[in-house]
Amino acid sequence: MTSLSGKIAIITGASHGIGLACARRFARDGAKVVLADVDEEGGKRAASEITSKGGVARFIYCDVAERLDIHNLVAAALDEFDRIDVLVNNAGIADATNFFKLDDVTFDKVLRVNVKGAFLAAQAVGRQFIRQIEAQGEPRRLQTRQPYAIINMSSIDAVMVSEDHVAAAVSKGAVNQLTRALAVAMAPWGIRVNAIGPGTVSTGSVEGLSGGDAEGALERTPLGRFGAPEEIAAIAAFLASDDASYITGQCIYADGGRLALNFTMPQKG
């Protein structure tokens, strides 16, 4: 078990699915969590569930692709907890339309949340990390470990494609490159930036897969099962912890072996 004791973590898209699992896991490991989401009802319910189990949690409404919302999110987190240590850029949406039927509105919508949202949050929180480091009068190039970390939720779609998830694949490819760019930009302050690339994980969106799609996804997953949101949250907890102090600019894939299998078409015979 990793320890996030005393850390202040913002988790976007935390009302449901993987983000909610991250919020629960971080709180269990001792972090104080700020849940950010466009689903206000779900977010408030999630925060009060965590609080009822002895954790410290607060929900803030935030559309990650709106600069003002991100500004208000950072301000609210500081108001409540005085500093921020970790950002989990998890909010994301997918498309399920064949490339030739994919319209530009959907394409924009997916990239707006998955890429612009991650960029805006990372820039605002990264600037706050630097303010905190410089307020302590620490040298720019540090010899010591820093607690600050950003974790971007990518996907195996960053490196493999299906003609039915083109916008999501393009967005997650961008998330991986954003991760590397941020890692380099923030390294002088000792801030670490990494990504997680899940395969198929049982969340609301995936549970909606119809029989054939679900079977197809399982057929391409050597472990023979979908991942659980908690299995992704465990990686986020590790990357946020001091145990990952020398890891930056990486994407850790948790996909039940799908990338190792390395094919996207259904097997015949």
Residue carrying the six token digits 């997916």: 110
Minimal distance, residue 143 CB to ligand NAD, in Å? 35
CA nearest 85: which of 1, 6, 29?
6
209 touches ligand NAD by CB under 6 A:
no
Backbone angles phi, psi at 15, to 5 degrees: -75, -20
Compare residues 92 and 190 and give the one whose CB is closer to ligand NAD. Answer: 92
85 touches ligand NAD by CB under 6 A:
no
Work out which of 18, 151, 174, 183 binds ligand NAD, going by CB under 6 A.
18
Minimal distance, residue 214 CB to ligand NAD, in Å? 11
201 touches ligand NAD by CB under 6 A:
yes
Distance CA 45, CA 49 (A): 6
Strand order in the sheet with 56-61: 56-61, 32-37, 8-12, 86-89, 149-153, 192-198, 251-254
Over the window 227 to 266, marking each residue x when it contacts ligand NAD by CB under 6 A and - when it does not, the resulting string is ----------------------------------------
Beta strand extents in 77-212 (DSSP E only):
86-89, 149-153, 192-198
113 touches ligand NAD by CB under 6 A:
yes
Q: What residues have CB less than 8 Å from 131, skipping those under 6 apart?
A: none
153 touches ligand NAD by CB under 6 A:
yes
Residues across the chain: 269
Work out which of 6, 204, 208, 222 binds ligand NAD, going by CB under 6 A.
204
Residue numbers at the binding site for ligand NAD (CB under 6 A): 12-13, 15-19, 37-39, 62-65, 90-94, 113, 117, 153, 155, 198, 200-201, 203-206
